[in-house]
Amino acid sequence: MKKKIAILGSTGSIGTQTLDVISEHNDNFEVLILTANNNADLLIRQALKFKPDSVVIANEEKYQYVKDALKDEDIKVFAGQDAIAQIVETADIDLVVAAMVGYSGLRPVINAIKAGKNIALANKETLVVAGELIKNLIQDHKVAILPVDSEHSAIFQCLVGEFHNPVDKIMLTASGGPFRLLSKDDLYSVTAAQALKHPNWDMGAKITIDSATLMNKGFEMIEAKWLFDLNIDQIDVVVHPQSIIHSMVQFKDGAVKAQLGMPDMKVPIAYALSYPYRMASNINPKMQLGDYANLTFEKPDMERFPNLALSFEAIGRGGNAPCILNAANEVVVDAFLKDKCSFYQMSDIIAEALAHIGFISEPGYEDYVNTDKLTRLFAQSKL
């Protein structure tokens, strides 16, 4: 039987690549639900091609446009954030691909877990904002979280067959982004256009900026803590400019396992969709070690890239601090993309938010909602 898939954020980078993988293996998968935030035209094209049961457009102003375009199809059309959060409870779904960007992915993922759905998680902010809450829900509802991020997929693959062996530490690799070699003085004047030119990966705008500031690696560190039940001192970040080793695991005996491959997100996406099996791929070229004679590693510079240090600070405090970190970051990244904020102003505002917003040591869901709202207002006031 075909595995029935719901894709939250089908028009984004991960969503479109997930559909590419499904197209290549259409005997194995059926697209049941597609959701998009604002890109109605692409959502319509995807719906016409994949014939899902339902589509949801978050922007309610575009509901009629999507509905009219699909009026001759047997496809249900809904609109709004509430509809996205509710539709993941659909009985027939086997796997929810959480590819929405940012905080907006939290509520749908919570609802999907409560409905007993397995999650292919690309929305790292879900675990950054509410990692402890999500971890408890996963245990209560006995669902699987399959990581889609290349780094977490690499760790997951290294741990297959090793779950009885204790982990000494994991090493998350980072490309270093487009500004790895720039001095601190140079970083004061970099632009969004420069930041969007990632040397190795083809990603959406928000995650590309996060890669340039190393906030993305900070988020991945927090996500890894919850995914793999680690202490922070068990997580290292290593800059690996070639992006061939996607992450490593060191065990108690000193042995290190690494997962290697070309920097192509379709590999971890396919693994999450098909786990525990591996599907054949037409990715070309496949990796040839002879083409990579020099694989190098270096420590991240947290003075030039303070967002990584702020991430360690936030998860070290725990509670709602990572939620503050994420909300402030979403505001300043949006401002940076619109040339309303400089590179280092982003870090300054995030640090101010962490110092200003009230700390809650044991937050519940409503505390996360309120923290997110208060932090966004505070960050906006600082722009």
The band of 167, judged by pLDDT with boundaries at 50, 70 and 90, is: very high
- Structure confidence at residue 286 (pLDDT): 82
Q: In the block, which residue shows the tokens 């200003």?
A: 356
Q: Sort strands 145-147 and 167-174 into parallel, antiparallel or unpaired.
A: unpaired
Measured between alpha carbons, how far is residue 231 from residues 14, 159, 225, 253, 361 in Å? 29, 17, 6, 18, 17
pLDDT greater than 80 at residue 205? yes
Domains assigned to the chain: 3-143 (3.40.50.720)
Q: Sort strands 76-79 and 3-8 into parallel, antiparallel or unpaired.
A: unpaired
- Structure confidence at residue 61 (pLDDT): 97
Q: Which two tokens stand for residue 43?
A: 């959502």
* Contact predicate 367/357, CB 8 Å: no
The band of 52, judged by pLDDT with boundaries at 50, 70 and 90, is: very high
pLDDT greater than 80 at residue 331? yes
DSSP 58: S
pTM over 0.85: yes
- Structure confidence at residue 199 (pLDDT): 75
- Residues 66-92 have a mean pLDDT of 96
pLDDT greater than 80 at residue 285? no
The band of 149, judged by pLDDT with boundaries at 50, 70 and 90, is: very high
Percent over 70 (pLDDT), the chain: 99
Task: Collect contacts of 226-231 with beta carbons under 8 A, ≥24 apart.
Answer: 226/127, 226/131, 226/132, 226/134, 226/135, 227/127, 227/145, 227/147, 227/152, 227/155, 227/156, 228/155, 228/159, 228/167, 228/170, 229/135, 230/167, 230/169, 230/170
Q: Which two tokens stand for residue 25?
A: 């293996």
Q: Which two tokens stand for residue 345?
A: 């102003």
pLDDT greater than 90 at residue 278? yes
pLDDT in tens, 295-309: 999 999 999 999 999
Q: In the block, which residue shows the tokens 């939250």?
A: 8
pLDDT greater than 90 at residue 101? no
The band of 281, judged by pLDDT with boundaries at 50, 70 and 90, is: confident
What is d(CA 269, CA 275) in angstroms, rounded to the nearest whole number? 10
